[in-house]
């Protein structure tokens, strides 16, 4: 008996999504609640589980199609079993499927649903990994994944490409449908890749922020000597006690919470003709995910210890990479901190995340000459950037916020005694 697979509820105000990839192909054995497809929403990727155990039926939609909440996307034959010969000829079927033109568009290479039968079968490929496979011309069936549940990551693809024999590129034209157009005379290439729903949403929200808010950015710099010394002195004990590394973000989140309490307008937002002040601090932290930047929220950050903050951020970073962040974890937020320094950024003018009214940009730490007590000395310095909505936050308040943050970081004892 065929059971319909429906698009699940995706979250408040989200009514549609894009089918990112099929994790199961028709004829694959599936277990109850086993993911069979991945949907891309405005914020995160959501896996669609099978409602019953059985055999994967027909796909009702294709990769890249927009689907509505509650719509049928496939069927599962409940209680059925996969063909007995499926396990033995698996490699031949995989190769044949890879040679067919529609294969890449159907959501990946080979039969990803064979994992329960053959532990060496490749795990499902995310869109970013599929692009990397096409760019490097490698066979995903030969790559051992190091990601969650054995999934292949972009790093795995790059490593496989670097170890590939020099003659391998000659065999790369297999995925013909995705090959970019080539000018034969010059060898110049172009590639057109459809924007993911997440990237489209990021683009729209950032442009809306520029069009709506009266954005202005104020800069300051901070001497990181005291924090670096504290981290070097206590990092081993900290990790032993709390099971997480002591980074810089814990200090900055705590310092920001203190400064936001003193300058509440930086933690406020505009709704219509009203200003909404918050007596709590929900800090959105920008982290990298395979499909773009996401901003999960640290709830009630003002009540957390440095250890609690570091644990939360570490968990967010890991699950963003795995694509397992939940929709509710991306909602809300009263203030954002974006650390471009981890990528080497010296200075930037970050864009606010509406309806928030401010975002703090952190940058790389580098030794620079500064004057202390009339002497030129070398100190580890970092530039801070606060972008804010000038409709709500005056320049005096923005500068006062940055100075309070700077004082707390340069003298971390202030964080302990709430000064």
- Annotated catalytic sites, by residue? 390, 394
Residues in Cβ contact with 22 at an 8 Å cutoff, skipping those fewer than 6 apart: 36, 37, 59, 63, 106, 107, 108, 112
Contact 111, 123 (CB under 8 A): no
Contact 86, 115 (CB under 8 A): no
How far is the C-alpha of 234 from the C-alpha of 407, rounded, in Å? 21
* Phi/psi at 119 (5° precision): -70, -15
Sign, CA dihedral 72-75-79-82, equals: negative
Tokens of 146: 């190091």
- Tokens 């954002």 locate to 336
Contact 385, 360 (CB under 8 A): yes
How far is the C-alpha of 37 from the C-alpha of 34, rounded, in Å? 9
Residues in Cβ contact with 414 at an 8 Å cutoff, skipping those fewer than 6 apart: 255, 258, 407, 408
How far is the C-alpha of 222 from the C-alpha of 409, rounded, in Å? 7
For the chain, how are helix, strand and coil distributed in percent, rounded to 5? 35, 25, 40
Concatenating the DSSP letter of every residue in 395-407 gives HHHHHHHHHHHHH
Cis before 381 (ω within 30) = no
How far is the C-alpha of 271 from the C-alpha of 354, rounded, in Å? 10
Contact 360, 203 (CB under 8 A): no
């Amino acid at each position: 008996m065929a059971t319909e697979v429906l698009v699940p509820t995706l979250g408040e105000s989200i009514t549609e999504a894009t089918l990112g990839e099929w994790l199961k192909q028709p004829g694959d054995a599936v277990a109850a609640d086993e993911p069979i497809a991945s949907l891309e929403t405005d914020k995160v990727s959501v896996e669609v589980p099978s409602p019953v155990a059985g055999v994967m039926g027909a796909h009702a939609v294709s990769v890249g199609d927009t689907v509505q909440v509650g719509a049928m996307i496939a069927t599962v034959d409940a209680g059925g079993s996969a063909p007995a010969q499926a396990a033995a000829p698996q490699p031949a079927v995989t190769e044949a499927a890879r040679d067919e033109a529609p294969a890449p568009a159907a959501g990946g290479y080979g039969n990803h649903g064979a994992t329960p039968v053959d532990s060496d079968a490749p795990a499902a490929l995310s869109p970013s990994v599929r692009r990397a496979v096409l760019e490097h011309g490698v066979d995903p069936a030969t790559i051992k994944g190091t990601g969650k549940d054995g999934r292949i990551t972009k790093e795995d693809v790059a490593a496989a490409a670097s170890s590939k024999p020099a003659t391998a590129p000659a065999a790369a034209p297999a995925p013909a449908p995705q090959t970019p157009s080539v000018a034969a005379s010059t060898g110049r290439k172009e590639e057109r890749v459809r924007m993911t729903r997440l990237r489209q949403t990021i683009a729209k929200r950032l442009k809306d922020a520029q069009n709506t808010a009266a954005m202005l950015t104020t800069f300051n710099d901070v001497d990181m000597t005291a924090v670096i010394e504290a981290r070097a002195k206590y990092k081993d004990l900290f990790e032993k006690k709390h099971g997480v590394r002591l980074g810089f973000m814990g200090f900055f989140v705590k310092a920001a919470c203190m400064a936001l309490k003193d300058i509440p307008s930086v933690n406020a937002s505009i709704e219509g003709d009203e200003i909404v002040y918050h007596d709590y601090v929900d800090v959105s932290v920008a982290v990298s995910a395979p499909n773009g930047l996401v901003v999960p929220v640290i709830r009630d950050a003002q009540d957390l210890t440095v250890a609690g903050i570091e644990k939360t951020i570490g968990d967010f970073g890991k699950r963003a990479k795995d694509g397992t962040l939940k929709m509710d974890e991306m909602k809300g937020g009263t203030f954002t901190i974006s650390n471009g320094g981890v990528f080497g950024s010296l200075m930037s003018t970050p864009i606010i995340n509406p309806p928030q009214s401010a975002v703090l940009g952190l940058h790389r730490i580098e030794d620079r000459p500064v004057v202390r007590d009339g002497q030129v000395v070398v100190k580890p310095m970092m530039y801070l950037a606060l972008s804010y909505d000038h409709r709500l936050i005056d320049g005096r308040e923005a500068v006062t916020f940055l100075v309070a943050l700077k004082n707390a970081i340069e003298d971390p004892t202030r964080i302990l005694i709430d000064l």
